[in-house]
Amino acid sequence: MATLALPFVVSLLLSLLFGGAVVEKLAQAKARQPISDDAPDAHKLKHGTPTMGGLLILATTLLATPFGLWHSYTQYMKIAGGVNAASNPAFNWWIYLAAPAIIVLLVFALACGIGVLDDLGKARKKLNGAGLSERTKLGLQFAVAAFFVLYLWMVSTLGVKGFTTAIYFNGYWLDLGQFYYLFVLLYLPFFGNAVNFTDGLDGLASGTTLIAALTMGAIAAVGSPALGVPAFYGAVAGACTGFLWFNAYPAKVFMGDTGSLALGMGMAAAAVVLKQELLFLVVGAVYVAEIFSMMLQRYVFKYRRVKHGIEYAKANRVFRRAPLHHHFEELGLRETQVVARFYVAALLLAAIGVLLAPYLSFGGAR
C-alpha cells in the first residue's frame, strides 16, 4: 500500500506548495475560462476564472509517481533478488512492473496536451466554443488511444507475461481476441470525454476523481501483479486532492480540458493495464452517468426535432439541462449541494467497487 500512499503524499504536498503560484501564473498569462452559453445563468459569474489548472495535476503526478515506483522496486528486489538470483530481477521489474506505469503516464501526458490545445484556443479568443472542433478533439483522442493499443499489441507480440486480450469476470476470462484492441480504442476516449463532461461544477471532477483513483489504486495494490501502476493512481489522487484546495467552491482555478481529458484517459489506460476494465465502469459510474446524460439529451432531442418539430423538441427534453449535474441545478439545488451529493454517490460506488472487486478485477480476486 506504500506504493499508493507515498506518491499520494508527495503529489498532495507539491500541489499545496506550488498551486498558488501556478494559479497566479495562469491568471497573468490570461489563461481564463469563458463560460458556455449552455451553462446555467449562475455560472456566468465564473467568467474569467483562470483555467488550464490541469497543468498542476500533470506536473505533480509526473513528479510523484517515481516515488511509488522506487518503493515498488525496492520491495520487488527484496523478494525476487534472493528467490530468483539466476535471472535478472531488475530487468524483470522494468518489463513487468514499471513499463505499464510509464505507458500510462505517457497516455496521461498526451491527453493533457490535447486539452492544452483546446483550452488555449478558448482563452485566446475568449469564447467557449473557440477551442478545437469536436471532430478534431475526438480524432486526437483516438490517436492517443491508438498509440496505447499499439503498445498493447507489441506486448502481445513479444509474449510479455501477464498481458491478455481477455476481460476478467467472476473467475472467467472472456477472450475478445483482436476485438479487444477495438474495445480499448473506444474505452479511452469514452472516459476522457466522460470526465470532461463531469468537470462542470467547482470541485466536482477533482473530488470524484480522487475517490475513484484511491479506490482503484487500493484494489490494485492489494492484489495486482502490476505493482507500478498503483503509484500512478496514488499520484493522481494526491494531485486531485491538492488541486481541490484551489478548485473548491468558489473556485480560484479550473482544470479545463487540460486536466479532465488527462484524468479520464489516464485512469482508463491504468484500468486496462490492471485488467480492471469492468471495475472502472462501476467505480467511475458518476462519469458514465454524466456522459450518457449528454448522449441521451442530444439524440432524443434530434429524434423529436425530426419527428415532432423544433418547438416540441425544445419543450420536451429528457433533462432540464445536460450534463446531469446541471439538471439538478435546474431543479433548484445549489452548486455546493450538487457537488456534495455527487461525492456521496462516488463514495457509494467506491464501496460497491470494493465489494465487487473479486468478480470484476483479476488483481482483486487474489
Q: Is residue 289 part of a domain?
A: no
pLDDT, averaged across the chain: 88
330, part of any domain: no
pTM: 0.91
Name the helix (H) or strand (E) containing 174. strand 172-175
Residue pLDDT, tens place only, 99-153: 889 999 999 999 999 999 999 988 887 766 667 889 999 999 999 999 999 999 9
- What is the span of the domain harbouring residue 44? 2-277
Residues near 94 by Cβ (< 8 Å), separated by ≥ 6?
A: none
Summarize the confidence of residues 175-180 as an average pLDDT.
93
Average pLDDT of the residues in 173-185: 94
pLDDT in tens, 58-102: 999 999 999 988 887 787 777 765 555 446 666 666 777 788 899
- The answer to the question of residue 263 being in a domain is yes
Asked whether residue 278 carries a pLDDT value surpassing 80, the answer given is yes
Contact criterion met (CB below 8 Å) for 120 and 274? no
The total number of structural domains that make up the chain: 1
Query: Would 113 be classed as within a structural domain?
Result: yes
Residue pLDDT, tens place only, 15-66: 999 999 999 999 888 776 666 656 666 666 677 788 899 999 999 999 999 9
Kindly report, residue by residue over 214-271, the tens digit of the pLDDT: 999 999 888 654 578 999 999 999 999 999 999 999 999 999 999 999 999 999 999 9
pLDDT recorded at residue 128:
64
Instruction: Give the pairing of strands 172-175 and 166-169.
Output: antiparallel
Q: What are the distances in angstroms from CA 202 to CA 46, 221, 250, 339, 342?
A: 10, 30, 7, 8, 12
Residue 309 lies in a domain: no
Domain-embedded: residue 31: yes
CA separation for the pair 329, 219 (Å, rounded): 34
Q: Partners of 169 in the beta sheet?
A: 172
**Cell digits for 320?**
432540464
Distance CA 79, CA 77 (A): 5
Residue 346 lies in a domain: no
The reply to whether 333 falls in a domain is no
